[in-house]
């Protein structure tokens, strides 16, 4: 499936060919911290199927396993873009962040990883009251 998208400010633009059956949710505490949310949704992309305009900033994260991953984000607005192996040169693959893709509504997660770190309330989101926009959420103001 062909996908495209951009960071929040539009400085970074991406295009890729992805397999929608490989979308995953990661509940690890690193993803919670880096995303500022309860989890992160990503999709693997072969290196030769990924194109990007704009130069991201890179942060090297060391995982619990000791593996190092380059975390790319927009240097202007901070939007997470992808992770990959650290270092210069061509990459074998990228983990593209689904939130930046225009087709994200068609990229339903197929698996969850690091479930031991999942926030216990995530499973009950369907039970929470909903509003279509921020209107009517006076307790959040």
Q: Which domains does the chain have, with CATH numbers?
A: 2-119 (2.170.150.70)
Burial profile 46-60: b = 16 or more Cβ within 10 angstroms, e = fewer: eeebbebebebeeee
Residue 128: pLDDT band with limits 50, 70, 90: confident
Average predicted confidence (pLDDT) for the chain? 91
- Structural element, H or E, at residue 32: helix 29-35
Q: pLDDT tens-digit profile of 70-122?
A: 999 999 999 999 999 998 888 899 999 999 999 999 999 999 999 898 898 98
CA proximity to 99, closest of 117, 74, 118, 76: 74
Q: How far is CA 71 from CA 18, 34, 53, 131, 141, in A?
A: 19, 9, 16, 33, 32
Burial of 130 (0-12, 13-18, 19+ CB in 10 A): exposed
Q: pLDDT tens-digit profile of 57-82?
A: 999 999 878 889 999 999 999 999 99
């Amino acid at each position: 499936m062909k996908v495209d998208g951009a960071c929040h400010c539009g400085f970074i633009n991406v295009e890729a060919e992805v397999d929608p059956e490989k979308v995953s949710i990661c509940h690890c505490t690193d993803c919670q911290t880096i995303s500022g949310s309860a989890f992160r949704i990503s999709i693997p992309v072969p290196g030769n199927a990924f194109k990007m305009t704009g130069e991201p900033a890179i942060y090297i994260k060391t995982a619990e396993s000791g593996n190092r991953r380059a975390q790319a984000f927009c240097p202007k607005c901070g939007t997470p873009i992808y992770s990959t192996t650290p270092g210069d040169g061509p990459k074998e693959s990228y983990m593209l962040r689904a939130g930046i893709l225009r087709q994200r509504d068609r990229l339903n997660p197929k698996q969850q990883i690091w479930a031991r770190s999942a926030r216990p309330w995530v499973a009950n989101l369907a039970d929470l009251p909903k509003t279509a926009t921020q209107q009517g959420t006076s307790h959040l103001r």
